[in-house]
A and B are shown apart, each in its own frame.
Chain A
Amino acid sequence: MTTRTAEKVLSFEEALAGFDPTMGLEVHVELNTVSKMFCGCATGFGAEPNTQVCPVCLGLPGAMPVVNEKAVESAIRIGLALNCRIASWCRFARKNYFYPDMPKNFQTSQYDEPIAFDGWMDVEVDGETVRVEIERAHMEEDTGKSLHVGGATGRIHGADHSLVDYNRAGIPLIEIVTKTIPGTREKAPLVAKAYVAQLRDLLLALGVSDVRMEQGSLRCDVNLSLAPAGSGQLGTRTETKNVNSLRSVERAVRYEIARQAALLQSGVPIVQETRHWHEDTGVTTSGREKSDAEDYRYFPEPDLVPVAPSTEWVDELRASLPEPPRERLARLQREWGFSDLEMRDTVGAGALVLVEETVAAGAAPGAARKWWLSELARRANERGAEVADLGVTPTDVARVQALVDEGRINDKLARQVFDGLLAGEGTPDEVVEGRGLAVVSDEGALSAAVDRAIADNPAVADKIRDGKVAAAGALIGAVMKELGGKADAGQVRELILAKLI
């Protein structure tokens, strides 16, 4: 059914010449409550299959849900942080459809009465602010997880049966839906990515979710449509699921623009359908067509009573909100002394929180930025991953910088420490130890190496004796070469000058 071969696409530039993209983003956030949305089962990631289930989340006959208060609280806080209005009275609803990973064959969700609605978030892209309007944020529950057996690829197609683990079923989700975002043109992919990145930072600051995209605790669906450039119309949209990294958000938007443009240009109408994003190949493929299968037969969940947050409760939660993103950015820029450009690059690389935490762990802001934005961002890029997902922690980075500051390693050795960290060789200190990376600080050994360099390069030594200090570079190079780079260049230079002048 699925065609794995890439469809015909236009170049991004060509696509935009003919069409205006409009997008909408749906983000599902798993809350970090210790128990599930409607039962007391634990929510920890990675437990043995079907050990965090009970009659309620297994949908056993007779079982009944009870709402987790912390989840409602988190939903309201998210709503407030997104500048939403909070419903004074709302209900849960049943969304009826059959799927083996959904124990009751309905999802307990919210329909026309979301807990939060009509909000916005300002997103910074290339120094420009784009206001993303939030339609709603509502509470619902996650599904179980299927493992497909018998197929060659472990995928659903070709599998002869599936194995279902319901540990994830019933974990609280907040679904955050934007209104359509028009008029972003060539910036659309970046706006999408920046929105998700900024939302992630916000959720992290709220402390309501682990927001681990690679573990699925933050998942994104991209709705995208094209209309003839300048027409002001709205085209038929596709809904791309499974866009589960920041990088993919940008790529998926870019790909759908190019794909839809190619179809429209050759006169083929867009079908309203669900599509699936493939991280590996960078394409979307057709899922099911939206048709009568979409008749979810919503109705108010009779087993749950309405949620009616009091003004006092909402005010209390509002008072507990962290600093709003813009104010926070301004404050951090002030505290760190970054230029506008430095600040923008930091945000753009998805490294704001990482830098913040690295600074909190003791590193100077400039050093923290340098490591995350140059060294680690480059490696993330090579791997097609997000810098946050490399597995190197802010504490690690702060420690590496501390080792440099202590003179135990130099910048060049520090890069090798990062190699070791990425290779899973332990803590920075363990990598330095294991790889023997500490600089030679033994005065005798250094002095001997300098003497040899002077002896080997008499002409250079003479120049320096004549006052041409700049020539010292050649001797430093020779010393470093002999010591395999494990020396502090400044210290070597001082030694050379002391011996010759």
Chain B
Amino acid sequence: MTELTRRTAAELAEALASGETTSVELTQSHLDRIADVDAAVHAFLHVDAEGALAAARASDERRASGPPASTLDGVPIAVKDVLATRGLPTTCGSRILEGWVPPYDATVVARLRAAGLPILGKTNMDEFAMGSSTEHSAYGPTHNPWDLDRIPGGSGGGSAAAVAAFEAPLAMGTDTGGSIRQPAAVTGTVGAKPTYGGVSRYGLVALANSLDQAGPVTRTVLDAALLHEVVGGHDLMDSTSIDQPLPAVVAAARQGATGDLSGMRIGVVTELTGEGYQPGVQQRFDESVQLLVDAGAEVVEVSCPTFVHALATYYLILPAEASSNLARFDAMRYGLRVLPEGIEAPSAEDVMRASRDRGFGDEVKRRIILGTYALSSGYYDAYYGQAQKVRTLVSRDFAAAFERVDVLLSPTAPTTAFRLGEKLDDPVAMYLNDLATIPANLAGVPGISVPSGLADEDGLPTGVQVLAPAMADDRVYRVGAALETLLTRRWGGPLLARAPELAPALRGASA
């Protein structure tokens, strides 16, 4: 591993600006790192060396002849395979989209390209983002760089692992119930879920449209803010996009990095701590709270009583929307087409059924059936309709809490990374991973997860989540950056410096 791959995106941007390195050099060094370790980590589903280097060359030429396209011009990035990339395969971790090459770019991807960030490749994920472990990828799981036998979180385990394994300085993730924040927590990285509508969803293959939000996956809070500024802001192609200026997230991250939180009121959510949280997770959380108090914040306990119903609410709304979103995968216009066996001259209908059976994995089928049930006549009011009402109550809980405090705080995930396969056939146990992250998606508010240390019992990373009111993304960056500064000081360096070295594979063996 070259020293370049250890640096933060902000540092790389400076190195590019000062002429210390070139985009081609640092893009190549990340491609080399991917070649070294990705056979073991399996963060990527597709690596685009040629495309990334071409973009890097263009970036270097731009810098040579004039101003860069953005602060991050030339800094490479990995993109979750749920975002449409023109000319690059986009599979969503599903067999049904194997080999699909979109004829268009997601808005987020178009903005990355316009800002000059070379795209290294597409990262692994749970199929259609359904999962919390990346084990539901049709192309095999991603491994946690901290312990290759453990899950990297999900659904965006690929993006988190890529960043944690120094394969990319930046990655894009998407978060429907915690898929950016929970992987960040279990891989010792930073993940931010912007306000719903703060980053365009156009070209993000929808899991649950009213919950999905794309956001940055990075190693530092400042990097997340820098990336947020590149991809965020109003988009005419997304009707649910907010037509207001983006909050000043970079400035907030820089302000928070001073470590001063005087005047900040922080609420610890009663319902998201204590019982059900692994002792080591709770311990690191409590220490973080104490650090924030020491930094001048006023910390109070806040109750959000409806949050205990958030998980159930989520597991009705998500499958319902998903069952409808995934109907388009019918083998007619794109994707896998399977001819059913034993049927002569099968009809379109027969082919749809067979293709969807073969193309979707178990978890996807499970949720499609559940969603179909929740929406079907006679059950709508009891399930989907009821869930939408509880959603209102969750939002009201947030509103009430934010009258008392500026941000809310909780552990990001109830446990550290569990072993691959451990919860694979126990969907309910799997769903519990998103307990703390889901309320933010239901209400559309922003959140960030920052590393809070390693749990004593297993030595694995834990995370703290900061939540703020809609369009107050700057607050999560400020508090997140403060906590990061204080903890890094205490640790004497970034948490990831303590991750085990990954043995480089023999070059060429990991194509």
Contact = CB atoms under 8 A, between A and B. Distances in A.
Direct A–B contact in the complex, CB atoms closer than 8 angstroms: yes
A304 interface: yes
B122 to A, nearest CB: 13
Interface residues of A, number: 31
A62 interface: yes
B327 A66 contact: no
A160 B324 CA distance: 29
Nearest to B209: A302
Contacts of B323: 96, 297
B84 A96 contact: no
Interface in B95-112: 97, 100, 102-104, 106
A297 B204 CA distance: 24
B94 to A, nearest CB: 10
Contacts of B217: none
Interface string B190-211: 0000000000011111101110
B381 to A, nearest CB: 12
Interface stretch (A76-84, A102-110, A273-281, A443-451): A102-110
Interface string A128-152: 0000000000000000000000000
B372 A64 contact: no
B384 interface: yes
A100 B377 contact: no
B324 A295 contact: no
B371 to A, nearest CB: 9
B324 A297 contact: yes
A98 interface: yes
Q: Which applies to chain B's interface (DSSP): helix, strand, loop or mixed?
A: loop
A474 interface: no
A96 B239 CA distance: 21
Contacts of A89: none
Nearest to B102: A60
A195 B209 CA distance: 41
Contact of A299 (B205, B320, B328): B320
Given A106-B324, A295-B377, A62 B333 contact: no
A66 B236 contact: yes
A62 B328 contact: no
Interface string B112-128: 00000000000000000
A54 B239 CA distance: 17
B375 A61 contact: no
Nearest to A101: B332
A289 B328 CA distance: 24
A501 B372 CA distance: 96
A59 B202 contact: no
B369 interface: no
Nearest to B211: A302
B103 A55 contact: yes
Contact of A103 (B84, B104, B333, B380): B333
B203 A67 contact: no
Task: Say which size band chain B's interface belongs to.
Answer: 35 or more
Contacts of B333: 58-59, 103
Contacts of A103: 328, 333
A60 B236 CA distance: 18
A427 interface: no
A67 B237 CA distance: 10
A164 B332 contact: yes
A193 interface: no
A57 B323 CA distance: 19
B473 interface: no
A303 interface: yes
Contacts of A62: 83-84, 90, 102, 106, 202-206
A104 B327 contact: yes
Contacts of A100: 330, 332, 348
Nearest to B327: A105
A299 B345 contact: no
B239 A305 contact: yes
A258 to B, nearest CB: 34
Contacts of A298: 375, 380
B390 interface: no
B175 interface: no
Given A297-B375, A299-B324, A98 B349 contact: yes
B92 interface: yes
B324 A94 contact: yes
B328 A66 contact: no
Interface string A46-80: 00000000110011111111110000000000000
A64 B328 contact: no
Interface in B157-193: none
Interface string B333-359: 110000000000100110010000000
Contact of A305 (B100, B240, B324): B240
Which of A54, A94, A105, A164 neighbours the largest number of chain B CB atoms within 10 Å of its CB?
A: A105
Given A61-B92, A61-B102, A62-B205, A297 B328 contact: no
Interface string B209-222: 11000000000000
Interface string A194-228: 00000000000000000000000000000000000
10 contacts: A55-B102, A59-B333, A62-B102, A62-B203, A98-B327, A100-B332, A103-B328, A105-B328, A299-B321, A299-B380
Given A96-B327, A305-B240, 10 more contacts: A60-B102, A62-B83, A64-B201, A65-B239, A94-B324, A105-B328, A106-B324, A160-B345, A302-B210, A302-B321
6 residue pairs, one from A and one from B, having the closest CB atoms: A105-B327, A297-B375, A302-B209, A302-B210, A61-B205, A62-B203
